[in-house]
Amino acid sequence: MQVIPGGCESKTSVNGVVRQKSLQPIKLDDEARLIVAIGSLSSHKRLSDLIWAADMLAPVEPRLHLAIVGEGPAQAQLEETRHSVRRGHRISILSPAAMPWLLDRAEFAVLPGAVDGCCHAALQAMAAGLPLVAARGGGNGALLGEGEAGLSFPVGDRGELARTLWGMLAKPDRQRAFGHAARRRATELFPAEEMASAYADLYRELS
């Protein structure tokens, strides 16, 4: 499964997954632990919950860096939230052009909101071999399966979101197993034609 390019320079293959290599959009040290959320920046995606949850983890995982990718009406509010937390400098809000590099570097993707239907951003992440941490409800359950492709938490519960993020970060072996299952689930459950259409819809959503 090939990830659709977006401002890319060259391709790389990691664990058999063809990914796109793009210019590095943020400066991270070698030990940084990157997690990513991708999608339109709107209030129903509950990205503010993710910012607060990531900040809660600062005492136990100071290397954590959160990247939020997208554009939308909630961007100014998210920037305000980012500046209000203790570790806002470890949180980045980036344009969609950053997505290929982030998918190659991130440990997993987060869906803090439960939305109806297929989440195009989650499909993109899963096809790139990233496990998911996703709110329960909406279309997220179909992506996760029976806990096959990642971990879930109750939507709107920032404390449980923080604990679930730590549950993924603290166990790299389980994280890798989830990643392999996520890639397999994406390619088996969603035919190539549907995936290509989903990616096209995602880029339209982000632009």
The continuous run of DSSP H or E covering 78 comes out as helix 75-84
How far apart, in whole angstroms, are the C-alpha atoms of residue 117 and residue 6? 24
pTM of the model: 0.82
Structure tokens at 48: 């503010």
Per-residue CA distances from 45 to 48, 75, 78, 184 (Å): 8, 12, 11, 26
The model's confidence at residue 156, banded by pLDDT at 50, 70 and 90, is very high
Q: What is the pLDDT of residues 38-47, one digit of tens each?
A: 888 999 999 9
For residue 151, the cross-strand partners are 133
| pLDDT at residue 189 greater than cutoff 90 | no
Q: What is the pLDDT of residues 62-102, one digit of tens each?
A: 999 999 999 999 999 999 999 999 999 999 999 988 988 99
The model's confidence at residue 205, banded by pLDDT at 50, 70 and 90, is low
The model's confidence at residue 22, banded by pLDDT at 50, 70 and 90, is very low
DSSP at 137: S
Which of 110, 98, 91, 111 minimizes the C-alpha distance to 51?
A: 91
Just give the CATH number of 29-206. Answer: 3.40.50.2000
The whole-number pLDDT of residue 17 equals 40
Over residues 133-154, mean pLDDT: 91
